Homo-oligomer: A and B are copies of this chain.
Amino acid sequence: MKYGIVMFPSKKLQDLANSYRKRYDPHYALIPPHLTLKAAFELSDGEIEEYSEKLKQIAKNHQPVRLTISKVSSFQPVNNTIYFKVEPTLELQELHKNLAETLPHSETEYAFVPHITIGQKLSSDEHSDVYGQLRMLGINHEEVLDRFHLLYQLDNDSWTVYETYHLGKE
């Protein structure tokens, strides 16, 4: 089964992200707005409890993380994903690294650029238009995230939550 690890920001930030995703992100209906800590990876049914236990330990060893967003950015020219750029604090980097070390298939293709996607799979022209507008947005958001979730993917590509892990808690 395919699993992934994400953090959901506050309802307020999810609502804001959705106001763009609705128009610009074909994954809008598949998963709520999120920050990906570990992209899709395969685990067999027999492995899941062992890994879940490891995730619990990792969560315990990290404190809640500050989420700071000050601008809209894009992955161009790599791809045309537009996102809320999340400040890559040491806390987030360490959490990501710890998860990557522990979980399988962690030959990470890209460096970790924490972000919350608000648009993707746009045509080149759409990307220029939309990014041109959104990069002008004044966004200045800060909150603290105290948990992350392990999700699995259904046949229709949507995601269901399997487990919640609390940062810094028993």
Contacts and interface: CB of A to CB of B under 8 A. Distances in A.
Interface of A: 1, 8, 11, 14-15, 18, 22, 28-30, 32, 147, 149, 152, 154-156, 158-164
Main secondary structure of the interface of A (DSSP, over half): mixed
A1 B1 CA distance: 33
A14 B39 CA distance: 22
Nearest to A166: B163
B154 A15 contact: yes
B1 A154 contact: no
25 contacts: A1-B11, A8-B160, A8-B161, A11-B152, A11-B154, A11-B160, A14-B160, A15-B154, A15-B155, A15-B156, A18-B154, A18-B155, A22-B156, A29-B29, A32-B154, A32-B158, A32-B159, A32-B160, A147-B163, A149-B161, A149-B164, A161-B161, A161-B164, A162-B164, A164-B164
